[in-house]
Structure formats: structure tokens, C-alpha cells
Amino acid sequence: MVDINLHNISIFSSLSDEVLAHVDEQLEKIILPAGQILFNVGDKSDQLFIIEQGRISIFTPGESQGTVGQKLNVFTAGKYFGQVALITGQPRAMIAKAEEDTTLLALSRSTFKEILGADPDLALSMMKELSLRVRYAYSFLQEVENWIRKISSGDYEETARLSSMHNSNDQTFSILAAEFALLASKIMAHDATLQEEVAILKIQIDESRHQEEVEQIRQSVYYQELQSKLKDIRSHSGE
């Protein structure tokens, strides 16, 4: 018996009480301490996970083996993830890690297929869910493309403003928006530093050029003649 109402999980909301009771019996409880990896890149992908309590973050793989990269999403109690695995069976492409002590409920692919046979409405619910995610992903990519275009054109300030002001209930979007704001701010600061360094270098070049021009004048025949005449004038003035 699980401590979460499966009727509140969107993909199960259309299932009958009888089918949900069967799902309840088949769910495997997994307890993870904070910091433990639930799955890694390349792991077998045949379970959907429901968070009973705690928090799971999804990361891209890090630069070196065994490390995590960019945080992409955060799932909390009542949320679920891994549903694509029930359909494709492809190896995991991301890393899932417990951010705190977490209790999960795992639904296996075999149980999922069994439920589909008993209640085809689950397939429709799943298709609707995936359709919404595809639509969201398209909007997500359009927004990212807009930010990238602004950064490429040098409009760092506007990118930082737009991404930092972005208000989304989606953790993935919010995390990426914050990253773009930080990136734009860093580029803007770096650009300002470069402009300052260029200005200083220009002053130094102008001063050096000025000194060279002064030296050229001092070495010229005309200047030497003026110096000689000035010397003669001072000599005659002293007599």
C-alpha cells in the first residue's frame, strides 16, 4: 500500500479503482539517501518513477566520468518521471540524483503493459501527456533560440533581462532561464572589461606615439637648427 493517492497522478487519473488497486500492489518502493544516484547515463530504462516524498534532480552528464553536469529539472512529491522509458526502452540519457532523503514508487514496464491490456484509456492518457510535452518542448526551444540569437547579436543586457524576468512554473525552463541570465551577465561583464582594457591600451598607444613623434621632432634638422639659434641668442644676450 502506497502513501500517495494515485488518482492525483495525471496519467493514472482515468483508471478505475480496480485497476489502480492493482497498480498499487505492483509498485516497488525505493528509498534513496540524499546524494545517491537513482540512475546514470546508459542504465537500463524500464521503469516510471513517482516521488512519494523527497526531491530528485535530473542532470546532464558531467565532463568527466561519474560526475554530473547541468541541472535540467527537479521533481518533488507527487511528481513522476521516466514515462518515456515505458514506451521506448532506450537506455537512460540523463542522470537522476536524490537531492534529499527520498522515497520513490517504481512502475515496471511489464506492469505498464499489463495495465494497458486491462485499460486502453491509459494509452490515451500517456499519448496526451507526451503530446503536451512535445508542444512544450517546441515552445521551449523557440525561447532558447531567441535567447541565443540575442546573445549572438551582442544584445547581452536584453538577454539577461528577459531570461531573469521569465516566470515559469516549469523547473526546467526556470533553471535554464537563470543560466542564460548568468551567461549573458558574465559575457556583458567580460565585454565591459575588454572595452576598458582597449581604452587603456589606446591611451598607452597614443602616449607612446606622442613620445615617438616628440623624439622625431627633437632629432630633426629643423629642431637642431632652432636649438642652435636659441643657444646663439642666449649667448649674445649674456654678453
Fold (topology level) of 6-119: Jelly Rolls (2.60.120)
Which sequence spans correspond to the domains of the chain?
Answer: 6-119, 198-237
Sign of CA dihedral 147, 151, 154, 159: positive
Angle between helical axes of 156-165 and 171-219 (0-180°, round to 10): 160
Question: Which distant-in-sequence residues (6+ apart) come within 8 Å of 66 by Cβ?
Answer: none
Describe the crossing of helices 156-165 and 121-152 by its angle, rounded to 10 degrees: 150
Confidence class of residue 131 from pLDDT cuts 50, 70 and 90?
Answer: low
> pTM to 2 decimals?
0.59
pLDDT digits (tens, 9 = 90+) for 182-238: 666 666 676 777 777 777 777 777 777 777 766 776 777 766 767 677 776 667 665
Exposure b/e, 163-186, CB count within 10 A at least 16 = b? beebeeeebbbbbbbeebbebbbe
Q: How many residues does the chain have?
A: 239
